[in-house]
Structure 1
Amino acid sequence: MTNALSKMIAEREWILADGATGTNLFNMGLSSGDAPEMWNVEHPDRIEKLYAMAVDAGSDLFLTNSFGGNAARLKLHGAQKRARELSRISAEIGREVADRRDRPVIVAGSVGPTGEIMAPMGSMTHELAVEIFHEQAEGLKEGGADVLWLETISAPEEYKAAAEAFKLADMPWCGTMSFDTAGRTMMGLTSADMAVMVEKLDHKPLAFGANCGVGASDLMRTVLGFVAQGTERPIVAKGNAGIPKYVDGHIHYNGTPDLMADYAVLARDAGATIIGGCCGTMPEHLSKMRDALETRPRGERPTLEQITDALGAFSSAVDGTEDAGDDTPQPTRRNRRRRG
């Protein structure tokens, strides 16, 4: 399938994605508990600014303001019938921002989790999840998104439902999961499990990887876990800017621009192709990341020790992929570099 992102992947050694959506919108005045997606119609100028800040800081790809834009999430705000509309508008604004640039910029239609527990443990059936994701996908497609971008997923069943929905929409896609529980997703999936899962999908993602989680160090360990499986599929690394701290009534992330620059280079050297930030990542972080990726030479794949020396300690002793009875993570056991 030929599309803007696959073309860029073929031509580039790395692609810089964007940073935080929520953190930036809160700084613009979004209140806790409000639906960010409503700003697509209430404050389109601020959403345009959100996108432009990322691109001006050097991002080659940015996500639309549609993370919670599915019917299940919007139902909490009485806006479930507006899922397709709000997603379409988020992509339309993004398309305008991207098309004004004199370089290729990818508009990635953000699709977050439904917020429901998948059957059989919960009430969200596969069929309903596919329907919900398909509706949002069609809206993003209508708005001009180049690619769909599934993110912060915990359950493999939800990831598979989204893949099926994106096939129905006839759209290319990327998909990341959040490994925030001792190297596993909240529903127990490891990086090794995910690497195997994506290759079994009927409609495979252009790239897969991890976003959010605990911090940059943990996310890097997860990236090494993907690489250890010998995957040839492009890997996405989109880590938080440090660890959140509650200061004076607000959430702040302690990751400095310099730390995120180090993280970006480590992610590239570890084997990631699409590199960005998640929570707490501001334009100043992205600018430093861009500069580092452009100016620092490619190095050897980093070790776990090099990662913790640069980015701080891991939040847990294990990464979820260790052998039974062995508490030492082994994601660097292969040293074969994935083709760029």
Structure 2
Amino acid sequence: MTNRFTELLESRDVLLADGATGTNLFAMGLQSGDAPELWNTDKPENIKALYQGFIDAGSDMFLTNTFGGTAARLKLHDAQSRVGELNRIGAELGREVADKMDRAVIVAGSVGPTGEIMEPVGELSHALAVEMFHEQADALKDGGVDIIWLETISAPEEFSAAVEAFKLADMPWCGTMSFDTAGRTMMGVTSHQMAKLVTDYENAPLAFGANCGTGPADMLRTVLGFSSQDTGIPIISKGNAGIPKYLDGKIHYDGNPELMGEYAVMARDAGAKVIGGCCGTMPDHLHKMREMLDSTPRGEAPTLEGVVKAMGAFSSESDGTETSGCCSGCGGDEKPARGRRGRRRG
């Protein structure tokens, strides 16, 4: 399948994605607990400024402000009846910003987890999950996104429900999981298992990978795990800007622009084709990532020892890829661990 995303990807060594939605909107005045998606209608100029900031920093693509745009998430804010409106407008604002540029910029429709646990561990049925993701995907399509971008998923069952919905919406898609629990997702998926999962879909992703997690070191280990599986599908790396620390009543990320620039180069050398930032990543980080990707010659894939030396220690001794079991969503025998409700991105 060819579209704007694949055409741009084929013409570049790597694509620079965007940074954090939440962190940047908090800097604009969004309050903790508020739904960012409501700003699509309440403060559209702020959302356009968010998108423009990523582009001005050198991003080749950005995600729409629709991460929590399913009915399940919007219900927490009594906005479950506004799924179509909020997602469509979030996409239209992105289209407006991207289309005025004199270079190609991809608008990716962000789709995050429902926040519910799926059967049989939880109560969310496959059919209802597909229905909610389909409603959101249709609205993003109506708003003009180039691709659907599934992110921060931890359960293979929820990932697969979303993929089914994207097929119903007839939309190309990319997908990332968050490997934030000893190198696995909260529901027990390893990088190797995700690589198998995406290759088994009839409507394969245009790219797959990881976002968020616990810091650049763990993200790079995960990317190396994807690369070792040689799926032939482009890899995505969207790591946090360092490690979160609680200071003066607020969460701060300790990664400076230089660290994120080095992370971007190492992610490219590890095999990633789409590289960006997640929580804590601001335009200053992206500026440096763009600069270093453009000025640093491609090198050999980093070793795990090299990653630790450059990025700091891993959060866990193992990421689970040394075992041969497979998560339940991939058809194997290993059962996923119980997880908590999905969180917001950035």
State whether structure 2 residue 192 is matched by structure 1 residue 192: yes
Number of equivalences: 324
Q: TM-score, normalised by structure 2?
A: 0.93
Deviations 1:211-253 (A, max 9, x none): 0010010010000001111221000000000011111121110
Residue deviations 1:48-98, cap 9 Å, x none? 000000000000010000000110000011100111110000000000110
Aligned match of 1:169: 169
Corresponding residue of 2:103 = 103
SS in 2 for 1:136: helix
Aligned to 1:331: none
The answer for the alignment partner of 2:275 in structure 1 is 275
Query: Would you say 1:304 and 2:315 are equivalent positions?
Result: no
Which runs of 5 or more residues in structure 1 are unaligned? 325-340
| SS of corresponding position for 1:273 | strand
- Quote how far apart the aligned CAs of 1:12 are: 1.3
Which residue matches 2:71?
71
- Deviation digits for residues 37-57 of structure 1, max 9, x if unmatched? 000000000000000000000
Q: Which has the higher contact order (CA 8 A, sep 6+)?
A: 2
- Matched residue of 2:209: which SS? strand
Q: Which residue of 2 aligns with 1:36?
A: 36
Checking the alignment, whether the CA contact within 8 Å between 2:199 and 2:231 is kept in structure 1 is no
- Name the CA distance, whole Å, in 2 between partners of 1:247 and 1:49: 27
- Taking the aligned partners of 1:241 and 1:48, their CA distance within structure 2 comes to 23
Moved over 3 A (4+): none
Partner residue, 1:263:
263
SS in structure 1 at match of 2:272: coil
Amino acid in the other structure paired with 1:143: G
* 8 A contact 2:87–2:140 mirrored in 1: yes
Identity of aligned residues (%): 68
Letter in 2 for 1:148: I
Alignment match, 2:236: 236
User: Structure 2 CA distance, aligned partners of 1:204 and 1:162?
Assistant: 12
The amino acid of 2:101's aligned partner reads: R
Equivalent residue letter for 2:261: A
Aligned residue type for 2:43: H
Q: Deviations over 1:90-147 (max 9, x none)?
A: 0000001100110000000000000000001111111110000000001101111000
Matching residue's letter, 2:38: M
The separation in 2 between residues aligned to 1:229 and 1:51, in whole angstroms, is: 34
Distance 1:207 1:165 in 2: 17
Letter in 1 for 2:114: T
Q: Could you tell me how far apart the structure 2 residues matched to 1:194 and 1:306 are?
A: 24
Deviation at 1:323, TM superposition (A): 3.5
* Matched residue SS, 1:149: strand
**Shift of residue 257 of structure 1?**
0.1
Using the alignment, how far apart are the partners of 1:90 and 1:147 within structure 2?
14
RMSD: 0.8
Q: Distance in 2 between matches of 1:323 and 1:60?
A: 37
2:20 aligned partner: 20
| Distance in 2, Cα, partners of 1:44 & 1:3 | 27
Measure the CA separation in 1 of the matches of 2:231 and 2:323.
Answer: 20
Amino acid at match of 1:237: S
Deviation, 1:155, is 0.3
Indicate conservation of the 8 Å contact 2:173/2:206, yes or no: yes
Q: Which residue in 2 is equivalent to 1:178? A: 178
Letter of the 2:98 partner, please give it. Answer: A
Give, in angstroms, the shift of residue 31 of structure 1.
Answer: 0.5
Letter in 2 for 1:215: G
Following superposition, the deviation at residue 204 of structure 1 comes to: 1.1
Distance in 2, matches of 1:323 and 1:56, equals 43
Task: Report the AA paired with residue 306 of structure 1.
Answer: G
**Does the residue aligned with 1:267 lie in a helix, a strand or coil?**
helix
Name the CA distance, whole Å, in 1 between partners of 2:312 and 2:50: 29
